[in-house]
Structure 1
Amino acid sequence: MKGEKVRQLSQLFDAPQYAEQFMELARKTGQCRDLRIRAKCIITDAAGKAVINKTTKAPKVGWVEYKSEAGAQAD
């Protein structure tokens, strides 16, 4: 909790349901904060169009917040 950088979990937690299970266990220990699931995918603008890299002319890829089915229904 000393301002550590964001870290990716190992490949064992690559599916959202496994990441959610891990987050539940981590919250029970009380040694964590700001747990979020992110997915590496194409970044889009407000209109939903892919953001294009000017030098490579390819869509930009980055970390985007993952919304689970349960989270999307609660909103």
Structure 2
Amino acid sequence: MAGEKVKQLSQMFDAPQYAQQFMELARKTGKCRDLRIRAKAVITDAKGEPVINQKTKMPKVGWTDFIPDIAKVA
């Protein structure tokens, strides 16, 4: 709770279901807060269009919150 920066889990927890299991275990210890699954994805604007980097002319990629797809869960 000392204001640590966001950190990426190891490759062992790279799938969302493994990250969810890790979060459940971490919450049981009581020494964590604000746990969430994030994924690297193309950053989009309000209209849903990708934000383009002016230098490289490529879409910007950044961390976004992972939202499980309802169709995949069912």
TM-score when normalising by structure 1: 0.88
Root mean square deviation, CA, Å: 1.0
TM-score when normalising by structure 2: 0.89
Name stretches of at least 5 consecutive residues in structure 1 with no aligned partner. 71-75
The superposition leaves residues 3-61 of structure 1 with CA deviations (integer Å, 9 ceiling, x where unpaired) of 11111110111100000010011101101110010000111111111000011100000
* Amino-acid identity (%): 71
Answer yes or no: is 1:39 the counterpart of 2:35.
no
1:20 aligned partner: 20
Name stretches of at least 5 consecutive residues in structure 2 with no aligned partner. none
Runs in 1 of length 4+ with deviation above 2 angstroms?
A: none
Q: Any idea what SS the aligned residue of 1:41 has?
A: strand
Q: 1: CA distance between counterparts of 2:28 and 2:69?
A: 23
